[in-house]
């Protein structure tokens, strides 16, 4: 059996400013650091066989803060990055509302049709997250005991994890919301399907 514990990175300065981050980055706030430390205490009883983070500094820093000594190190995986939003990265939400109103409406309400120059589509994110999940399932299937994996990723990427593990099509991504920072989402894969714990 596979146990996936998926976490969104700690709060960042750009989260507070409502700036789209994508593949750009901003530092964790004091609250982001403290909430990651609190999460470390919450996860301490768990034994993780594999810890993997997005390579974005806000995610890898969160992983470093929540790992207890007995968990050992972690790896990074490009497939866990946030959606690349091209020209929107670094812009405030209200700026995008003014400059790209139609595309922003599609971004939120019609994810299967979203397209922006020099950016990823939701289809791109779906493919890389699905590939990561399939790899974890294959690895766990070779283990005789439950395989526990800790993942630190991003808002949209975490939504995509949930969508895929819930078995829903991409057009229903608009029914999901971005998870709070440092919130844990536990899914288990057993008997050929994922279930939320």
Residues that are catalytic: 9, 82
- Return the sign of the alpha-carbon dihedral for residues 97, 18, 24, 163: negative
**9: which residues sit within 8 A by CB, 6+ positions away?**
28, 32, 54, 56, 58, 59, 61, 62, 152, 153, 154, 181, 182
DSSP state for residue 5 in the 8-state scheme: E
Cβ burial of 142 (10 Å; 0-12, 13-18, 19+) is: exposed
CA distance 117 to 60: 28
Task: Name the phi and psi angles at 89, rounded to 5.
Answer: -65, 125
Identify the residue whose tokens are 């005789």: 144
């Amino acid at each position: 059996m596979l146990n996936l514990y998926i976490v969104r990175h700690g709060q960042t300065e750009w989260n507070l400013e409502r700036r789209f981050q994508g593949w750009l980055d901003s530092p964790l706030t004091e609250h982001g650091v403290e909430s990651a430390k609190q999460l470390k205490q919450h996860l301490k009883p768990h034994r993780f066989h594999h810890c993997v983070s997005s390579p974005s500094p806000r995610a890898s820093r969160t992983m470093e803060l929540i790992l207890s000594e007995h968990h050992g190190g972690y790896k990074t995986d490009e497939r866990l990055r946030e959606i690349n939003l091209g020209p929107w990265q670094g812009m405030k939400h209200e700026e995008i509302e003014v400059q790209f109103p139609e595309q922003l409406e599609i971004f939120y309400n019609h994810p299967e049709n979203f397209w922006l120059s020099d950016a990823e589509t939701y289809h791109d994110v779906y493919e890389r997250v699905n590939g990561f999940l399939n790899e974890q399932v294959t690895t766990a299937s070779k283990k005789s005991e439950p395989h526990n994996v800790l993942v630190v990723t991003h808002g949209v990427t975490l939504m995509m994890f949930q969508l895929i593990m819930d078995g829903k099509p991409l057009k229903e991504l608009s029914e999901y919301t971005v998870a709070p920072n440092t919130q844990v989402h536990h899914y288990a894969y057993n008997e050929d399907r994922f279930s939320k714990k």
